[in-house]
């Protein structure tokens, strides 16, 4: 089974707190009728701080779409290599071992994709497959995991690098006064994340099944209006209620795999906002603390779009409580309304076993002696 290894995540050095966000919102949008509601919603996000690529004074100025996209290119090229190097090291491979790069981002546009620059500058082979994903928004992190799983299923010895570069602060629009736009100004943060999916070997989540689901007729609920000033985020007030129809989809994914979604060992869920996490835990019948890694990402970094699931997964690794054979689910949600989901078990690489990882636990060890003999041969 393909193994999703420990992600690497970095956030920029410039920090904005909840208190600063409220102060700037009151100053920049003073007198706007939607402001009082937006301030209450921002306070209820639970986001204590976020990290952004520019000082807040520069972020509040809008230099134009062209300049912002130039900044996106500069910052992505500056920040991605270090994160990628760490992700490769976490997986125990080097750039030359990578067979495909999936690059996800919804906050800037480059053509050719940043994948071409990475291949030319970081030692990846010239025949590395390039798979850029630009229009799935926050769901793209889950989609990247699913497509890496698919690739490694088709090519069992392949390695896929996932890179997420989300510089959400470059999409700030000071003249937008809608509640959805104002809320996003206090919710989204910047981050770069990367992880490797190994076709064989490695320690992490052994990906066993993935799925996608689109809620019919909701494509306008989360969207960008692309104008001369750049990307204008649009959020429908019905979005927080989407976990009710999506919970049965997650339940069915687990059920098709023979699992009870309410009885898994770990949950890596997109932290779109507190209502998303609270509702999903309720509709799945899962204790709120099961989503602790997603809550921590939301509190410390805000909604970092496609990088959320990788940051939450990093926290699972660092908590160091999960045991071999533990079952779990990964889910990202975004425009569409789209859900990108995967289920798998925790796998631990056994030294000396060539080209694969071992998945076993106390509960199945007794009837797995034959497989154990193979592992230790």
Residues with active-site annotation: 138
Strand segments, DSSP code E, in 237-372 are: 266-269, 327-334, 338-347
Within a 10 A sphere around the Cβ of 184, how many other Cβ atoms? Answer: 23
Cβ(276)–Cβ(270) below 8 Å: yes
User: How long, in residues, is the chain?
Assistant: 377
CA distance 55 to 307: 21
Quickly list DSSP for 138-194.
Answer: GGHHHHHHHHHHHHHHHSTT-EEEEEEEEEGGGG--TT--SHHHHHHHTTB-EEEEE
Kindly tell me the sign of the dihedral angle through the C-alpha atoms of 136, 76, 9, 273.
negative
CA distance 246 to 252: 10
CA distance 180 to 186: 10
CA distance 302 to 203: 28
Q: Would you call 63 exposed, middle or buried from its count of C-beta atoms within 10 A (0-12, 13-18, 19+)? A: exposed
Strand pairing category for 204-214 and 338-347:
antiparallel
Cβ(301)–Cβ(291) below 8 Å: no
Token pair, residue 351, equals 């030294």
Which residues, 6 or more positions from 33, have their beta carbon under 8 angstroms from its beta carbon?
Answer: none
Cβ(143)–Cβ(342) below 8 Å: no
Cβ(375)–Cβ(358) below 8 Å: yes
Cβ(264)–Cβ(281) below 8 Å: no
CA distance 196 to 313: 12
Which residues, 6 or more positions from 280, have their beta carbon under 8 angstroms from its beta carbon?
Answer: 243, 246, 247, 250, 269, 286, 291
């Amino acid at each position: 089974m393909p193994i999703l290894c420990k992600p690497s995540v970095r956030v920029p050095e410039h920090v904005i707190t909840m208190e600063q966000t409220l102060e700037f919102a009151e100053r920049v949008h003073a007198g706007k009728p939607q402001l009082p509601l937006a301030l209450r919603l921002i306070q209820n996000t639970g986001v204590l701080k976020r990290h952004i690529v520019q000082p807040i004074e520069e972020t509040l100025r809008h230099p134009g779409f062209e300049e912002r996209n130039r900044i996106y290119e500069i910052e992505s090229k500056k920040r991605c290599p270090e994160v990628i190097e760490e992700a490769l090291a976490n997986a125990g491979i080097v750039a030359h071992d990578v067979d495909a790069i999936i690059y996800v981002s919804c906050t800037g546009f480059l053509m050719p994709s940043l994948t071409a620059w990475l291949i030319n500058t970081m030692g990846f082979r010239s025949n590395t497959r390039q798979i850029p994903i630009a229009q799935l928004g926050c769901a793209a992190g889950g989609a990247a995991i699913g497509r890496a799983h698919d690739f490694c299923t088709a090519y069992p010895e392949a390695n896929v690098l996932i890179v997420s570069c989300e510089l959400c602060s470059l999409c700030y629009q000071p003249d937008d006064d809608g509640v959805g736009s104002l809320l996003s100004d206090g919710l989204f943060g910047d981050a770069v994340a990367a992880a490797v999916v190994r076709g064989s070997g490695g320690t992490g989540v052994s990906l066993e099944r993935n799925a996608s689901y689109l809620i019919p007729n909701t494509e306008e609920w989360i969207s960008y209006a692309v104008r001369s000033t750049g990307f204008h985020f649009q959020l429908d007030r019905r979005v927080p209620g989407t976990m009710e129809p999506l919970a049965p989809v997650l339940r069915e994914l687990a059920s098709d795999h023979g699992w009870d979604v309410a009885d898994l060992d770990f949950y890596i869920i997109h932290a779109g906002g507190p209502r998303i996490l609270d509702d999903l835990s309720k509709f799945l019948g899962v204790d709120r603390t099961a989503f602790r890694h997603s809550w921590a990402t939301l509190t410390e970094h805000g909604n970092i779009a496609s990088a959320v699931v990788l940051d939450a997964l990093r926290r699972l690794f660092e908590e160091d409580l999960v045991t071999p054979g533990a079952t779990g689910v990964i889910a990202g949600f975004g425009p569409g309304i789209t859900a990108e989901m995967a289920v798998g078990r925790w796998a631990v690489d056994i030294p000396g076993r060539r080209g694969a990882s071992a998945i076993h636990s106390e509960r199945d060890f007794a009837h797995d002696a034959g497989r154990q003999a193979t592992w230790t041969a």
